Amino acid sequence: MKSIYLSPKSISIGRGTRKRDEDSGTEVGEGTDEWAQSKATVRPPDQLELTDAELKEEFTRILTANNPHAPQNIVRYSFKEGTYKLIGFVNQLAVHYTQVGNLIPKDSDEGRRQHYRDELVAGSQESAKVISETENLEEDEEPKELETESGSQTDVPAAGAAEKVTEEELMTPKQPKERKLTNQFNFSERASQTFNNPLRDRECQMEPPPRTNFSATANQWEIYDAYIEELEKQEKTKEKEKAKTPVAKKSGKMAMRKLTSMESQTDDIIKVSQAAKIVERMVNQNTYDEVAQDFKYYEDAADEYRDQVGTLLPLWKFQNDKAKRLSVTALCWNPKYRDLFAVGHGSYDFMKQSRGMLLLYSMKNPSFPEYMFSSDSGIMCLDIHVDHPYLVAVGHYDGNVAIYNLKKPHSQPSFRSSAKSGKHSDPVWQVKWQKDDMDQNLNFFSVSSDGRIVSWTLVKSELVHVDVIKLKVEGSTTEVPEGLQLHTVGCGTAFDFHKEIDYMFLVGTEEGKIYKCSKSYSSQFLDTYDAHNMAVDAVSWNPYHTKVFMSCSSDWTVKIWDHTIKTPMFIYDLNSAVGDVAWAPYSSTVFAAVTTDGKAHVFDLAINKYEAICNQPVAAKKKNKITHVQFNPIHPIIIVGDDRGHIICLKLSPNLRKMPKEKKGQEVQKGPAVEIAKLDKLLNLVREVKIKT
């Protein structure tokens, strides 16, 4: 099948004879020119004349959702950078038409209920129409019945059939017609245009860091000296390289490279370490934020309803993997930095002696110690110097004493005793710093199971020892046939120096006795107290009252003494071996004790003279034994250590640190005199009872 394309120029239907086009070879009528003229396009005079290629060229136009009228140069002031900055996000939404309507979706519950109500209304209207139509039909049928009676009989059955049809139609209820919607296509469009999430800057205003102006002048001779020092260093390194053998040259160069690389690394680490410590503390503060809030602000409201009974709130828990199976053998707060405390780790078991650890923790970073030192022998005691808080004296299980300097980064002690310098032959159970001697040399004392109380003095770069006193058990002298007398050596376990009388100190022994000694007398005791039936674990002078001291023992008892009287003023049985006792720094009548059954006991003699006002298990596990306790000098918290290497910080509830109440019109008297009078009042009551009995 062939298709023929007919152009307007090829064939024309009109009047005239047919012609044959010269170019195409087709016949053309005479009226072609007139038809072509009538169909000619009219162009405006200023229209551009384009070529066919330009006419065929396609131009694409892309429609975007951006608003062309939206401003692109909006700026906002940035407080962070202190300049005006362009806003990257511009709202492109353009609202053309808005109208508040009350349209309800057709498929919703409200739409269905409305449709159902409309159907009921429409049905009731149609039923009323049907009733009215039936009444009209009945009126019309009455004359028709008269006509049918006069008619023929053949018409009767037809009329009866019609009546039946109308009755059936009337009896059947008509279905309500479906209501036509105005929108015949039932078209619904659901579209939504959401805003892009706006950018938000979170800013905070802080105090600017402190700034200092530093200025210096660089003279010609200073520059010259710096170059000379550098040249001397280079010459020294060249001389060292020449002194080495040719074989060792390569190894020397490698070692030098390693040294230089190590030095550069250490320099970088030192620069970063301070910033890293601050960041670590910030992270820990966020991690333990709830604990820090409890430490600062929480007060147990239930104390108001308790009758003179308090509680201990657990705060932080300090532990280190390297000291996991070592007991806490000593605790001591730093006298200058009140959030820093030292922990000595060792072992009280004679059969399980191994290494020791000295750790210093800060409450600002409970996850890792600030300082860490290790030793070959277990650390049994420690003390921090009052005037030089970076010096820590420790006593070891092997009888040595040592001094660690926190300013020096290496882990070895700055000073250490030896067999030549008079070290103890038994474990050192306690060390205490004392005032400087006449030559302003630092000195401290130590007590050991070998019966010696030794004074150690730092002279230049070595420790010089002097035996202050040798403990002897009274009444245990035995005569040898040769005429010599043998004394049984007393084993010292604890001691404490008087707060005001420099020469007086107390010594507790394994035999259960307490000796009052003097630095001036090396062969005689000032007094002897038959204190306990087992070893004395701790003795401590009261920080306010100069006559009162306290002792505890493994015989389950804590006793409070007046050093002028040989019998105890108060005795408390705690039903378990007492590991340590400590006086509270804020009151002369408050003290704490810890026992091996994992409990902490807090007493306040002013509130209850007969029993503790707080008995609370504080150990991490039931089997753990609490070994030591210490009060913080300024905060209402205590730290306790156990035999598993854990240190727990506990906050005292308000009932455990009650201060005298204010009376109307009277100022509350505070100070050492008030505390001394408070304890004196209790002691006088006890003395009167003893005199009467």
pLDDT of residue 680: 82
pLDDT over 90 at 37, yes or no:
no
Higher per-residue confidence, 74 vs 438: 74
pLDDT of residue 511: 86
pLDDT (average), residues 13-35:
47
Give the residue from 642, 644, 617 showing the smallest Cα distance to 629.
642
- Residues constituting the chain: 693
Separation between Cα atoms, residue 381 and residue 346, nearest integer Å: 9
Separation between Cα atoms, residue 687 and residue 684, nearest integer Å: 5
Separation between Cα atoms, residue 536 and residue 540, nearest integer Å: 11
pLDDT of residue 84: 92
pLDDT of residue 539: 92
Separation between Cα atoms, residue 262 and residue 277, nearest integer Å: 21
pLDDT of residue 175: 59
pLDDT of residue 92: 84
Confidence of residue 341 (pLDDT cuts 50, 70, 90): very high
pLDDT (average), residues 631-641:
91
pLDDT over 50 at 100, yes or no:
yes
For the chain, give the longest Cα–Cα distance: 177
Task: State pTM to two decimals.
Answer: 0.59
pLDDT of residue 298: 85
Separation between Cα atoms, residue 72 and residue 557, nearest integer Å: 83
Q: How many CB atoms lie within 10 A of CB 413?
A: 21
Q: What is the pLDDT of residues 482-511, one digit of tens each?
A: 555 556 667 888 989 888 888 888 899 888
- CA angle in degrees (0–180, nearest 5) for 114-116-121: 95
Token couple for 216? 């210096």
Confidence of residue 20 (pLDDT cuts 50, 70, 90): very low
In contact, 284 and 364? CB cutoff 8 Å: yes
547 falls within a domain? yes
Q: How many CB atoms lie within 10 A of CB 518?
A: 16
CATH number of the domain enclosing 375:
2.130.10.10
In contact, 541 and 500? CB cutoff 8 Å: no
Helix axes 220-243 and 247-287, enclosed angle (nearest 10) = 120
Q: What is the pLDDT of residues 582-618, one digit of tens each?
A: 999 888 889 999 998 888 999 988 888 888 888 888 8
The pLDDT > 70 percentage for the chain reads 77
For residue 451, what is the enclosing H or E element? none
Separation between Cα atoms, residue 428 and residue 416, nearest integer Å: 13
CA dist 667 → 658, 661, 664 (Å) = 16, 9, 8
- CA angle in degrees (0–180, nearest 5) for 115-119-123: 175
Separation between Cα atoms, residue 137 and residue 672, nearest integer Å: 120
628 falls within a domain? yes
Confidence of residue 23 (pLDDT cuts 50, 70, 90): very low
CA dist 150 → 140, 147, 154, 159 (Å) = 17, 5, 12, 13
Separation between Cα atoms, residue 25 and residue 18, nearest integer Å: 12
Q: What is the pLDDT of residues 356-380, one digit of tens each?
A: 889 999 988 888 888 888 888 889 9
137 falls within a domain? no
**Residue 5 is which amino acid?**
Y
Q: Report the range out of 99-103, 133-137, 150-154, 446-450 with the highest average pLDDT.
A: 446-450
Write out the residue range of the structural domain in which residue 452 sits.
292-661
Coil, strand, or helix at residue 289?
A: helix
88 falls within a domain? no
Token couple for 89? 């996000």
Q: What is the bridge-based pairing of β-strands 548-553 and 637-642?
A: unpaired
Q: Token pair 């006086």 is at which residue?
A: 583
pLDDT of residue 532: 87
314 falls within a domain? yes
58 falls within a domain? no
pLDDT of residue 365: 86
What is the residue-wise DSSP string for 364-417?
Answer: TBTTS-SEEEEESS-EEEEEE-SS-TTEEEEEETTS-EEEEETTS-SSS-SEE-
Q: What is the pLDDT of residues 121-175, one digit of tens each?
A: 988 888 777 777 766 666 665 555 545 454 444 444 444 444 444 555 545 555 5
Q: What is the pLDDT of residues 373-423, one digit of tens each?
A: 888 888 999 999 988 888 899 999 988 899 988 888 677 888 888 878 788
Task: Calculate the dihedral angle through the C-alpha atoms of 65, 66, 70, 72, rounding to the nearest 10 degrees.
Answer: 160
pLDDT over 80 at 520, yes or no:
no
196 falls within a domain? no
**In total, how many domains does the chain have?**
1
pLDDT (average), residues 107-117:
89
pLDDT of residue 24: 45
Give the residue from 490, 416, 417, 492 showing the smallest Cα distance to 447.
492
240 falls within a domain? no
Burial (Cβ within 10 Å: 0-12, 13-18, ≥19) of residue 149: exposed
CA dist 210 → 213, 281, 572, 674 (Å) = 10, 20, 55, 43
Q: Residue 341, Cα to own-chain centre: how many angstroms?
A: 20
